[in-house]
Every structure is written in C-alpha cells, then in structure tokens.
Amino acid sequence: MSHVLRRAAAALPSLPLSILCLATILGLLGSPTTTQAAQPNVLLIYADDLGWGETGVQGNKDIPTPHIDSIAKNGVRFAQGYVAATYCSPSRAGLMTGRYPTRFGHEFNATARHSGLSLKETTIAARLKSLGYATACVGKWHLGGEASQDYYPTNRGFDEFYGTLNNTPFYHPTQFIDSRKSLDIQNIADENFYTTDAYAERSADWIERNQAKPWFLYLPFNAQHAPLQAPQKYLDRFPNITDEKRKYFAAMMSGMDDAVGLVLAKIRELKQEENTIVFFIADNGGPTQSTSSQNGGLRGFKMTTFEGGPRVPFFAQWKGTLPAGKVEERPVMNLDVLPTVVAAAGGKLDPAWKLDGVDLLPYLTGKNESRPHETMYWRFGPQWAVRHGDWKLVVSRKEAAGAGNNLAVAKPELYDLAHDVSESKDLASAEPAKVAELQKLYDAWNAEQAPPSAVDQPRKPDGKQNGADAKPGAKKAGAGKKRPAKS
C-alpha cells in the first residue's frame, strides 16, 4: 500500500474498502497534501529533570540550545506549561494516558518497580497505532517492565523500543533493550556509547525507515537526570564554566540540543516539517541541589508542589498550522498532548476514556479564547496543590529541612500567581473565602483519586534520588582525568 493510500485509508476508517478503492479511482488520493494534513507525524520529546529556567528561550544565557529553542521560535512557547506530577514515573504515566496518574494509583516511582503503568490504561501510542501510525519509544521508559514484559513499551502500543526500562547511567546503560534485536535486556559493551547520542541516531534512522506512514516517535531522553556524565567533546564547549557540576550539566544539555537538532534535521530532510507536530516538554522541575538544574526563579524543585516542581519548559511546533513565535500565557498540562495529537490524527476523543487533558488546537489557532484548564490539581503523598484561575492553594515541602516540613499538619498556603509567581506572599490569612473555595475544589478532586498502588521507601531528608550523589564524570576513553561516576 502506498503511503498516500495508507494515510487516506487510516483517515477514513469507517468506509468500506470498496469505497476507498472507488475514491482511489476518482483521484481523491491524488492530493497528498490533503491526506497528509489529515494525519500529521508526532515527535514527542521529553527531557528529564530539566528546570523551568533552562534552555535559551527560558532565559538561560550560559548554555546555548539553538535547536531546542527553534521549536519555541517556530511554534508556541507555553509560559505556564505544567506536568501533572513532579517526578519521573508519575509524570510519564500522565503523559502517556492524558489522565491524572493519581486516578489509577500511579502516584510514586515505586509503581514502576512493583509493576508498571496500569494495564487497564491505554497509552497515546496505542491510540495512534489504532489510527494507522507507526510508533516507537526511544529513551527512558520508566513505566514498568522489571516485573513482567506485559509492561514493556512493545506491549503498550509501541512497535519499537530502543532504550532503558528505568533510570540509567549515560555510559554502559543498564536494563537496555533494542527490540530490533530482541526483547532481552542487554549489556552495552561499546566504551563510547552515550545514551543521548545513541537515541538521536536511532530516532533519525527510525523516522527514515517509517517516512511513508504517519509516525509517532516518543523520545524521552535520560538527560538531564543524574548521574552527571558527558563526553569530552561536549565538555570542551564550556571552558569558562568552572563549577564542575554545572559544567557537566551544560555539556549534557548541549549534547541533548545536538540530539534534538539531528532529529529535526532528518524531518526537514524528508520534507515532513509541515506535517509533523513537535512537542518538547520536561518531565518535572530541576533538582537544583543535585544537578544544578535551575527553575528560573520559581519556588521549589523537583518533587515539590511549589511551582518549581510541576512548571516546566513546554514548547510545541507545527509549521503552517500553529502560529510561529507565539508565547502562550494560558496554563496547559502534559495531559493535553494525548487529546491534541489524537484529534489531529483524525481520532474521536471518546468521553468514556475519561481524559483530564484537552485538545489544545482550538486554543492555539484562535478558535477558543477561554482557558484550556480553569482548575488544575496535583497530589504527591502529603504534598498537594490546586490552581484555580490564578489562585493556588498548596501544601509543599519547604526548601529547608525541619521547620514547616511536617506536611501532615501543615496549613495550606494561598498564592496569587498573577502577581506573585515565586510564591513568596502567603495570602491564606487575608483571603479565607478563597482558601475555602479552593479547598473545596481540591477535596472533590481528591475524593476521585485512587490510593497509591505502591509507595516509595522513605527518602533522605534532602530528597535526593538514586544516583544523585554520584560525582560528575566522563567514562569515555581519553577523558581519564575525570573521575568516573558511580552508577
């Protein structure tokens, strides 16, 4: 089947084959522009632990990221882009399903270790596959598979998986799978293998091989998660950064920017730029203490419910369809990706799916001037938050350990994000009616959520994750003066 016919057939799923054949004869399919526009490709890039203040367009002047920035410049930069959970696995659970992960118990990373993304949930990949898409996941999965292959990406809607089941070092990644070879977990023997570079190369190769079909590529980098590791070629770009941690962070981000550039160049080379929706989103805010990732003046970090936890770099490009260079001030969420791309692919959004995300296209093309979300919610153990309009009621872990961190008895704080984006002035005492209004909204939503299916072990007081203690290091041959990182 030619790619034009395949695309048209997928766009007209309810028509019998005979009518499709007739349509072919009538020349309907001689208009590839029309049929291609019906089913755009989707490139969904997910960065790891990349704080709101990082990348050039978000204000970082020290680490050039021209390719990542190009997505915002060619499309939309969401000034208030959020994720539905403030760390790795739950954030991905929301992205993949378009639903608050707490609805199905995916509140903590432990869920990925105990089982994985609930098998009752349907992923964005499965939904696009049913619409005729070729699908691949290249990068860090972190939605299960250690306990059972039922949770592997290849059993959740992805034709191909190249990457790791879990967090991994950048060199000699653990739990590595290349489904083109087998579903067995491999050891990577190549000394020079660096996940970020390898993910870019596989992504470009996969797009080239699948260019004749509508395709969906999910590219969750393990950059910028700890441990801090980078090849010398990227470290050499930052001779003026003296802080070792920041230098490694910069090198890793420069590598990720090159990787994004390589994938975008492949799309341009294949002349698919106007037929490809590109998202670039971070999975949660920066853990500044462990990796130096900056949150641009927002309060809080990864794993807190202050803005520095869930508000992230969030860009979208679709040349010829989305406006270029637009800064969108209305709040959006990672949960919106699924409905946006399924609708763009010609799928019907079924109310039975009980999505929390919405199709952003009408908002971005000027057809709908209201907010996509008037109210947003977060729950992460004893931490929680609700944003209604520009008011936010929040219980969050504080910067300093100790005082104010007994979250079980903490009084919710009220902030006016329109005038106080850094959450510095608690208005709870001054605005008791607003507190009551938001508390009621949160209580109603909270009652709909499931209990956590697995709970994390107690963490260190500073909230550090596995691997976050590792010293920065390069394992590549020739970088011997750098201390290799623990993994």
Q: Which of residues 229-248 bind Ca ion (CB under 5 A)?
A: none
DSSP symbols for 371-440 = -S-SEEEEEETTEEEEEETTEEEEE---SSSSTT--TTSPPPEEEETTT-TT--S--TTT-HHHHHHHHH
**Closest by Cα among 307, 303, 306, 323 to 315:** 323
Q: Which of 35, 167, 195, 284 binds Ca ion (CB under 5 A)?
A: 284
**Closest by Cα among 403, 395, 400 to 377:** 395
CB of 110 vs Ca ion, minimal distance in Å: 15
User: How remote is the C-alpha of 270 from its chain's centroid?
Assistant: 25
CB of 49 vs Ca ion, minimal distance in Å: 4
d(CA 38, CA 52): 33
User: Helix, strand or coil for residue 327?
Assistant: strand
Q: Is the dihedral of CA 237, 243, 244, 250 positive or negative?
A: negative
Is residue 168 within 8 Å of residue 195, measured between CB atoms?
Answer: yes
Parallel/antiparallel/unpaired status of strands 413-416 and 391-395: antiparallel
CB of 285 vs Ca ion, minimal distance in Å: 9
CB of 225 vs Ca ion, minimal distance in Å: 6
User: Helix, strand or coil for residue 281?
Assistant: strand
Is residue 163 within 8 Å of residue 194, measured between CB atoms?
Answer: no
**Closest by Cα among 102, 108, 86, 79 to 308:** 86
Listed ranges 227-235, 242-250, 280-288, 316-324: which one lies at the site for Ca ion (CB under 5 A): 280-288
Phi, psi of 258 (to 5 degrees): -60, -40
d(CA 134, CA 365): 27
49 vs 328 by CB, closer to Ca ion? 49
**Closest by Cα among 310, 258, 350 to 65:** 258
DSSP symbols for 21-35 = HHHHHHTGGG-HHHH
49 vs 336 by CB, closer to Ca ion? 49
88 vs 124 by CB, closer to Ca ion? 88
Q: Which of residues 352-411 bind Ca ion (CB under 5 A)?
A: none
CB of 143 vs Ca ion, minimal distance in Å: 13
Token pair for residue 349? 């959004």
Phi, psi of 110 (to 5 degrees): -55, -25
> Which residue's structure tokens are 């998660």?
225
CB of 224 vs Ca ion, minimal distance in Å: 9
Q: Which of 283, 336, 356, 423 binds Ca ion (CB under 5 A)?
A: 283
d(CA 286, CA 210): 34
Listed ranges 44-52, 156-164, 292-300, 355-363: which one lies at the site for Ca ion (CB under 5 A): 44-52
Per the residue annotation, which of 88, 225, 373, 388 is the catalytic one?
A: 88
**Closest by Cα among 196, 230, 44 to 124:** 44
CB of 140 vs Ca ion, minimal distance in Å: 9
293 vs 396 by CB, closer to Ca ion? 293
CB of 64 vs Ca ion, minimal distance in Å: 23
Q: Which of residues 109-138 bind Ca ion (CB under 5 A)?
A: none
Q: Binding mask 311-350 vs Ca ion (x if CB under 5 A, - otherwise)?
A: ----------------------------------------
User: Helix, strand or coil for residue 328?
Assistant: strand
**Site size with Ca ion, rule: CB under 5 A:** 5
Contact between 49 and Ca ion per CB under 5 A: yes
10 vs 337 by CB, closer to Ca ion? 337
142 is catalytic: yes
Per the residue annotation, which of 67, 106, 142, 225 is the catalytic one?
A: 142
Q: Which of 47, 48, 99, 301 binds Ca ion (CB under 5 A)?
A: 48
222 vs 276 by CB, closer to Ca ion? 222
Token pair for residue 302? 């990864």
CB of 18 vs Ca ion, minimal distance in Å: 50
11 vs 88 by CB, closer to Ca ion? 88
Neighbour-count burial of 429, counting CB atoms closer than 10 A to its CB (0-12 exposed, 13-18 middle, 19+ buried): exposed
Q: Which of residues 65-104 bind Ca ion (CB under 5 A)?
A: 88
110 vs 410 by CB, closer to Ca ion? 110
49 vs 359 by CB, closer to Ca ion? 49
Listed ranges 23-31, 279-287, 292-300, 314-322: which one lies at the site for Ca ion (CB under 5 A): 279-287
Q: Which of residues 210-229 bind Ca ion (CB under 5 A)?
A: none
Residue nearest to Ca ion (CB): 88
Contact between 54 and Ca ion per CB under 5 A: no
Under the rule (CB under 5 A), what is the footprint of Ca ion?
48-49, 88, 283-284
Active site positions, annotated: 88, 142
